[in-house]
Amino acid sequence: MKYRNASELLPAQLLQELQRYAHGQILYVPSANRKPWGAGTGAKSLYARRNAEIRNQHSSGTGMHELGEKFWISEDAVRKIIYTKGGAAMNAKAFDYSQYFWQNQWVRVRRSRPDDWQYHDAGYNSEERFFTDGEQELPTGEDVWKEKRETYIKANENSEKWICLAFETLDGEYKGGGNLRFDDERNGVFDYFVGGEERYVAAALQLMLDYAFNERRMNKCQTCFIEGDAYSMKMAEKLGFTKEGVLRGKVFHKGRFWDEHHYGMFAAEFNAQQK
């Protein structure tokens, strides 16, 4: 930048007034039509596209550590981008979901967020918990449940073996959640857990199974339900699972032992239904 002598540009009266505030100093006079940061170079739009892509890939299952390495930024920076509230890029409608893998006509699946705890609170102190985890916890307040859920989600947010997911409508309304657990990569065996409104859970489970079978190359999905959980058994059978056996008296609750019903489905069986 070329410097100019103020005495060559400014009227004497204005120069004298200026000397009262900045005598002998070098000043920069910004343009009256100065553009916002990044407008001239395109940097602002470039970073906006990058941040949208980071959120999109995280929703598709990519962990924060992997995203940091891929985009050459720290994991903390990735976390800030993903959990920034109120930005236009956080609005699901701002993305182009036309080729989005984790979406069908009913539901869109994303990685769980710590603030999803609020959607799970209603059933925590209810009988439903027994059929969910095979146990009945002591009474728990909202603050304890919030901390437990947030800790659980944060502990698995980068995991590729225990993937926590949330189900939403195409307009972003929360409708359920679940997880995929890949305990036996060598033999291609995994299991799942889901909960929420039936039609959205069924649609989300189709996406989850497609990912496990046709992206992770799993061979078999196995799952089990406690006696009396007719809802889950009916959904499994509707999706094509086969009942493979019953473990009698596996879980103790309300003074008696309950049976555990086991179901399974192979990749070939799942894909045959999709044709």
pLDDT grade for 89, boundaries at 50, 70 and 90: very low
Average pLDDT over residues 144-158: 78
Q: What pLDDT, on a 0 to 100 scale, did the predictor assign at position 202?
A: 92
CA distances from 157 to 58, 163, 226, 258, 273 (A): 9, 7, 28, 33, 31
Specify which residues 182 forms β-bridges with. Answer: none
Q: What gap in Å lies between CA 55 and CA 62, rounded to an integer?
A: 9
Closest among 254, 263, 242 to 131, alpha carbons compared: 254
| Residue 78, pLDDT above cutoff 80 | yes
The residue ranking higher by pLDDT, 94 or 115, is 115
φ/ψ of 18, rounded to 5, equals: -65, -40
| Residue 35, pLDDT above cutoff 70 | no
Q: What gap in Å lies between CA 102 and CA 113, rounded to an integer?
A: 16
| Residue 121, pLDDT above cutoff 60 | no
Average pLDDT over residues 151-177: 86
* Domain boundaries of the chain, sorted by first residue: 1-100, 101-274
Kindly state the greatest CA–CA separation across the chain.
100
Question: Residue 138 has what DSSP assignment?
Answer: P
What is the CATH code of the structural domain delimited by 101-274? 3.40.630.30
pLDDT grade for 118, boundaries at 50, 70 and 90: confident
